[in-house]
Amino acid sequence: MRASGDTLQGLDRASMFGAAPVVRVLALALIAYPAVVMAGQATLYRYPQFAIWAVGTFAISGVVLIWASSPLRLHYPRGAFVVTMTLGVAAHILESAAMVQGDPTAVKHASTVVLATLLLAQSGYCTPRQLLVATATVTAAVWVTFAAFGTLSATPPLVAPLMFSAPVLVFGTAAAAFATVAIAARREWESTAPQRAGVDSDELARGVARAVQQDHVTLLNREVTPLFQRALQLGEVNEQLRAAAAERSRLLRDVMVAESNRTWLQAAVGQCGAVSDPDRLAIGLEPEKRAAVRALIGQICRHPQLVDGSLRIALSSGANGDSDVVDCSIEFSLDQTVPLAASRLTPYYGMLRALFDRFDYGTDGPVRWLKFSYAR
Amino acid sequence: MSLGLPQHLAMRSLSEAIAFASHVAAAVSLTIAALAPMLMQLSSPDLIIWPAAAATVPAIALLGLLVRSRSTAATLLFLIVGGAASFWYAVTLSSQLPQLGGNAAIYVLFIAALTCNAGPAKTFGVGVMWSTAGFVIGVASVFLGTAFTGVDEGVHPVSVMLFLFLLPALARAAFGGGRAESLRRHLYGALKHDRVDSIRLEAEREAAALLHDTVLGHLAALARMPDGPLDARLRTAIERDLRRLVGGEWLLEATTAELSIAIDTPFQDAVTRSRLDGLDVALTGDVHAIARLDETRGSALARAVEQCLSNVRRHSGTNRAEVAVLEGEGELTVVIVDAGTGFDPDSIADDRLGVRESILGRMERAGGAARIWSTPGHGTSVLLSLPLDDEPFAASPSATARASANRSANASNRATVTATAATVCEDPA
pLDDT one-digit tens code per residue, A236-259: 888 888 888 888 888 888 887 777
Under the banding of pLDDT at 50, 70 and 90, the label for residue B132 is: confident
The answer to whether the beta carbons of residues B366 and A265 sit under 8 Å apart is no
Among A22, A123, A263, the strongest candidate for a mutation testing the B interface, having the largest count of B CBs within 10 A, is A22
CA distance B24 to A177: 7
Helices (H), A99-158: 110-121, 128-148
β-bridge mates for residue A333, sequence order? A367
The pLDDT assigned to B171 comes to 62
Q: Taking a contact as any Cβ pair under 8 Å apart, which residues of chain A between 280 and 339 contact chain B?
A: 280-281, 283-288, 290-292, 294-295, 298-299, 323
In A, minimum Cα distance to B231 occurs at A236
**Closest CB from B9, B17, B32 relative to A178:** B17
Using the predicted structure, report yes or no on whether residue A171 has a pLDDT greater than 50.
yes
Q: Judge residue B149's burial from the number of C-beta atoms within 10 Å of its C-beta, 0-12 exposed, 13-18 middle, 19 or more buried.
A: middle
Using the predicted structure, report yes or no on whether residue B422 has a pLDDT greater than 80.
no
- B106: contact with A, CB 8 A cutoff: yes
Q: What is the mean pLDDT of residues A30-44?
A: 82
The pLDDT assigned to B348 comes to 73
Chain B: closest CA distance from residue A311 (Å): 18
Structural domains of chain B sorted by starting position, each given as residue range(s) with its CATH number in brackets: 7-176 (no CATH), 262-429 (3.30.565.10)
The pLDDT assigned to B415 comes to 31
Q: What is the mean pLDDT of residues A154-164?
A: 75
CA distance B416 to B177: 59
The pLDDT assigned to A175 comes to 92
The pLDDT assigned to B313 comes to 84
Which residue in A27, A182, A47, A214 sits closest to B200, CA to CA?
Answer: A214
The pLDDT assigned to A1 comes to 41
Starting at the edge strand found earlier in the chain, the sheet holding A357-364 runs: A273-276, A311-317, A325-333, A367-375, A357-364
The answer to whether the beta carbons of residues B213 and B306 sit under 8 Å apart is yes
Q: What is the mean pLDDT of residues B99-109?
A: 75
pTM score of the predicted model = 0.64
Under the banding of pLDDT at 50, 70 and 90, the label for residue B377 is: confident
Q: What is the mean pLDDT of residues A212-218?
A: 77
Using the predicted structure, report yes or no on whether residue B62 has a pLDDT greater than 90.
yes
Give A-chain residues touching B32 at CB under 8 angstroms.
162-163, 166, 169-170
Under the banding of pLDDT at 50, 70 and 90, the label for residue B258 is: very low
Half-sphere exposure at residue A229, Cβ-oriented, CA atoms within 13 angstroms: 10
DSSP per-residue string spanning B66-95: HHH---HHHHHHHHHHHHHHHHHHHHHHHH
Q: What is the mean pLDDT of residues B206-235?
A: 81
Among the listed ranges A100-109, A201-210, B323-332, B365-374, which one has the minimum average pLDDT value? A100-109
**pLDDT per position as a tens digit, B2-45:** 667 776 677 777 778 888 888 999 999 999 999 999 988 888 88
Query: Mean pLDDT: which of A154-163, A355-364, B32-41, B282-291 is highest?
Result: B32-41
The answer to whether the beta carbons of residues A124 and B10 sit under 8 Å apart is no
Q: What is the mean pLDDT of residues B79-108?
A: 85
B238–A200 C-beta distance less than 8 A? no
Among the listed ranges A302-306, B28-32, B190-194, B224-228, which one has the minimum average pLDDT value? B190-194
Using the predicted structure, report yes or no on whether residue B259 has a pLDDT greater than 60.
no
* Residue type for position A172: G
Which residue in B202, B106, B86, B207 sits closest to B157, CA to CA?
Answer: B106
Among A229, A253, A266, the strongest candidate for a mutation testing the B interface, having the largest count of B CBs within 10 A, is A253
Give A-chain residues touching B190 at CB under 8 angstroms.
268, 290-292, 294-295, 298
CA distance A147 to A126: 30
B174–A231 C-beta distance less than 8 A? no
This complex has an ipTM of 0.71
B20–A267 C-beta distance less than 8 A? no
Counting one residue from A and one from B, how many pairs have CB atoms under 8 Å apart? 340
Which residue in A300, A293, A297 sits closest to A344, CA to CA?
Answer: A300
The pLDDT assigned to A158 comes to 77
The pLDDT assigned to B128 comes to 75
SS3 category, A219: helix
